[in-house]
């Protein structure tokens, strides 16, 4: 075939002339087949893949200003329990929530699920390796997925994905239940947040005569979260949150009005009202979190105690925890099952790592939420409840120091193996002894403060027979005193002769004999010796001084204790610093165990006296 009549790759005939050369029927069919292969089949395949995987419905479109222009069909809101407070004749409503859609089975999410299964199903080294990777692998951080990760997905979301056709038929019913529970509890961690979405928040009225309802507009942050504080002149009834681009994406929340006075309970969640095991083995933590039965998390004595406080004193509850918001659905399920008192929740932003989010220090993260609650309710008396496994104690001590008079009590639940490297019982016994000594001193100081007032009142005669004297005239301002030179700096005459050089010899020296002789003749006494410089007074709550009264682990010195039991020594130091900080603050402090029925009864009696 000549060059002029050779067909091109797309089936058409190439010819340098203006009119194409005639081609055979076979050549035209081959060209059409090539064109179909190169052009139409890839487009059809891509469309079918997108339809089957649901990516088309889950993709988020943005406009030229960076705002969301189209939402995935599965987009939804999670509104977090907050509170409403009344100030004068107005109401202030706090609204907080999260806008998200279910995550897809990307490569990263498949790996997270696979590692989670290894942790929950095995006890060998592979489980520890999986834990380490979940904790330290930066590629598993749950940031916004890249387009390549979004396109690499299966045909269902994580919350509804099964274990596969082949796996489902061969696995036992119990294993299938475990897989479903694991994926359900991980779904919030693998969900996709929807940032830069415009929302409208409307506060409904309890009465129908208010036609103009308060409304504000907010935008979700990079993590899909939003918050707003609205002030309305009418009694609110319900809050409605709606997407501005899709009114079908909405959520309602009832108003929770909190009393301005009375008792408020600020409580941690993990290992305080819910058995989590934050300070224990990380593998056991993940198993309890992802596969544990909800009712197995109950700490029954604390639950009963909280309900009794709610029943007797109508206290309000505020749960401030180090748990990420992605655990809220599971926590809410637990609260409903064990019947814990409802209240506002104050959790933290997810850092992208499941294990680190649960185990990182929480004192600094909690400070903002704690301060916000006490600022919003300055006339409430707060009882702060936490556990010894984290830094709740320091957070509450700092809160009591910052807001004097608002923190009535600090109660810490003792978590197993959290007080000592050797024996928790010995350290707890010493801590309670220190608290007893401190409380007795606080009571003495309190009685001493009242006695001068009583004596002053007795000196004032208010009987009718007493003559009424005119009001005393203000004293004339006296000129300032002229400072006097300290006597130690004044010069003085020498009443004796200069001392002679001292010579060492048996008995008294010649200088001493001569000095006594001159003194007897002049009738003068030798000058007093200078005062010996004394060491600074020991602090009232010095750890080593207190330890000398009771031997712990067969050691009587704090330094020996620190070498033998570092954790126990640190706890005694922490407690001693707290007692110095709260000296005279009127705060009740106690460390309690679950089986300590006496503690629960005494605290109820103590709170009952304070509210009368």
Per-residue pLDDT reduced to its tens digit, 434-476 = 999 999 998 887 777 665 554 444 444 444 444 444 444 444 4
Tokens of 370: 């704690």
Residue 556, C-beta contacts closer than 8 angstroms, at least 6 positions apart: 547, 548
Region of residue 8 (left: phi > 0; alpha: psi -120 to 50; beta: else): beta
> Could you tell me the sign of the dihedral formed by the alpha carbons of 45, 51, 53, 54, in that order?
positive
- Give CA separation, 135 vs 130, 143, 249, in Å: 9, 15, 34
The pLDDT value given to residue 135: 73
Q: Which secondary-structure segment (H or E) carries 86?
A: strand 84-87
Helix (H, G, I), strand (E, B) or coil at 479: coil
SS3 per-residue string spanning 419-455? CCCCCHHHHHHHHHHHHHHHHHHHHHHHHHHHHHHHH
Predicted local distance difference test score (pLDDT) of residue 45? 39
Place of tokens 């009344």: 86
Q: Is the CA virtual torsion 38, 41, 45, 48 positive or negative? A: positive
Give which of 392, 400, 380, 369 is closest to 264, Cα–Cα.
380
Assess contact for 109 and 85: CB atoms under 8 A.
Answer: no
Distance of CA 62 to the CA centre of its chain: 34
| Pick from 539, 542, 544, 538: nearest CA to 561 | 544
Task: List, for residues 421-432, the tens digit of each pLDDT value.
Answer: 888 999 999 999
263-267 vs 381-387, strand pairing mode: parallel
> In angstroms, rounded to a whole number, what is the distance separating the alpha carbons of residues 251 and 97?
10
CA distances from 20 to 5, 27, 28, 36 (A): 9, 14, 13, 22
Looking at the DSSP bridge assignments, the partners of residue 66 are none
> Other C-beta atoms within 10 Å of 388: how many?
24
pLDDT value of position 548:
46
What backbone torsions phi and psi does residue 87 show, to the nearest 5 degrees?
-125, 110
> What is residue 166's predicted lDDT score, i.e. its pLDDT?
41
595 DSSP 8-state letter: T
Instruction: Look at residue 461 and give its three-state secondary structure.
Output: coil
Asked if 13 and 20 touch (Cβ cutoff 8 Å), the reply is: yes
Model pLDDT, residue 362: 57
CA-based Rg of the chain, rounded to a whole angstrom? 38
pLDDT at position 101 is: 92
| Confidence (pTM) | 0.73
Q: Where are the alpha helices (DSSP H) in 527-593?
A: 543-547, 558-564, 566-581
* 360 strand-pairing partners: none
Return the pLDDT at 343: 96
DSSP at 530: P
Chain-centre distance for alpha carbon 612: 33
Predicted confidence at residue 5, as pLDDT, reads 46
Determine contact, residues 209/233, Cβ cutoff 8 Å. no
Q: Which residues of the chain have pLDDT under 70?
A: 1-59, 139, 141-171, 210, 351, 356-364, 449-559, 611-612
């Amino acid at each position: 075939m000549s060059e002029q009549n050779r067909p091109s790759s797309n089936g058409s005939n190439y010819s340098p002339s203006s009119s194409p050369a005639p081609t055979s029927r076979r050549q035209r069919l081959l060209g059409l087949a090539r064109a179909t292969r190169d052009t139409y089949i890839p487009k059809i395949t891509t469309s079918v893949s997108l339809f089957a995987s649901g990516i088309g419905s889950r993709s988020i479109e943005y406009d030229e200003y960076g705002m969301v222009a189209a939402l995935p069909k599965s987009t939804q809101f999670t509104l977090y329990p907050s509170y409403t407070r009344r100030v004068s004749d107005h109401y202030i409503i706090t609204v907080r929530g999260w806008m998200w859609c279910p995550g897809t089975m990307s490569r990263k999410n498949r790996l997270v699920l696979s590692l989670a299964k290894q942790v929950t199903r095995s006890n060998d080294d592979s489980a520890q390796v999986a834990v380490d990777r979940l904790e330290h692998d930066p590629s598993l951080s749950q940031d916004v997925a890249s387009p390549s990760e979004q396109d690499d997905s299966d045909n269902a979301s994580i919350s509804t994905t099964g274990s596969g056709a082949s796996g489902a038929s061969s696995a036992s019913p119990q294993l299938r239940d475990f897989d479903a529970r694991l994926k359900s509890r991980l779904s919030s961690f693998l969900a996709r947040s929807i940032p830069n979405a415009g929302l409208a928040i409307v506060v409904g009225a309890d009465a129908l005569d208010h036609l103009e309802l308060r409304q504000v507009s907010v935008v979700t942050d990079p993590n899909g979260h939003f918050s707003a504080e609205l002030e309305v002149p009418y009694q609110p009834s319900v809050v409605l949150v709606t997407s501005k681009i899709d009114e079908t994406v909405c959520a309602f929340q009832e108003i929770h009005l909190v009393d301005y006075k009375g008792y408020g309970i600020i409580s941690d969640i993990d290992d305080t009202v819910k058995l989590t095991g934050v300070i224990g083995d990380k593998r056991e933590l993940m198993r309890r979190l992802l596969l544990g039965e909800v009712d197995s998390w109950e700490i029954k004595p604390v639950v009963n105690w909280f309900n009794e406080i709610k029943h007797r004193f109508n206290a309000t509850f505020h749960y401030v925890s180090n748990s990420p918001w992605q655990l809220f659905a599971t926590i809410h399920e637990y609260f409903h099952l064990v019947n814990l008192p409802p209240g506002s929740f104050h959790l933290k932003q997810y850092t992208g790592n499941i294990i680190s989010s649960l185990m990182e220090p929480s004192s600094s993260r909690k400070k903002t939420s704690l301060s916000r609650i006490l600022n919003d309710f300055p006339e409430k008396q707060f009882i702060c409840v936490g556990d010894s496994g984290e830094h709740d104690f320091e957070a509450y001590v700092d809160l009591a120091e910052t807001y004097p008079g608002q923190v009535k009590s600090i109660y810490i639940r003792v978590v197993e193996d959290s007080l000592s490297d050797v024996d928790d019982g010995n350290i707890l016994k010493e801590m309670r002894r220190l608290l007893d000594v401190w409380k007795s001193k606080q009571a003495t100081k309190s009685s001493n403060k009242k006695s001068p007032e009583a004596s002053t009142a007795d000196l004032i005669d208010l009987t009718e027979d007493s003559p009424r004297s005119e009001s005393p005239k203000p004293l004339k301002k006296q000129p300032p005193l002229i400072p006097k030179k300290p006597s130690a700096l004044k010069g003085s005459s020498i009443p004796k002769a200069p001392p002679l050089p001292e010579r060492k010899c048996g008995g008294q020296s010649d200088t001493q004999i001569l000095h006594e002789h001159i003194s007897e003749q002049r009738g003068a006494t030798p000058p007093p010796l200078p005062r010996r410089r004394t060491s600074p007074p020991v602090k009232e709550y010095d750890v080593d001084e207190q330890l000398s009264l009771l031997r712990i682990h067969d050691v009587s010195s704090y330094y020996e204790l620190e070498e033998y039991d570092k954790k126990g020594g640190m706890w005694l130091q922490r407690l001693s610093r707290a007692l110095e900080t709260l000296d005279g603050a009127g705060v009740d402090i106690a460390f309690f165990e679950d089986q300590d029925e006496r503690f629960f009864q005494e605290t109820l009696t103590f709170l009952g006296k304070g509210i009368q």
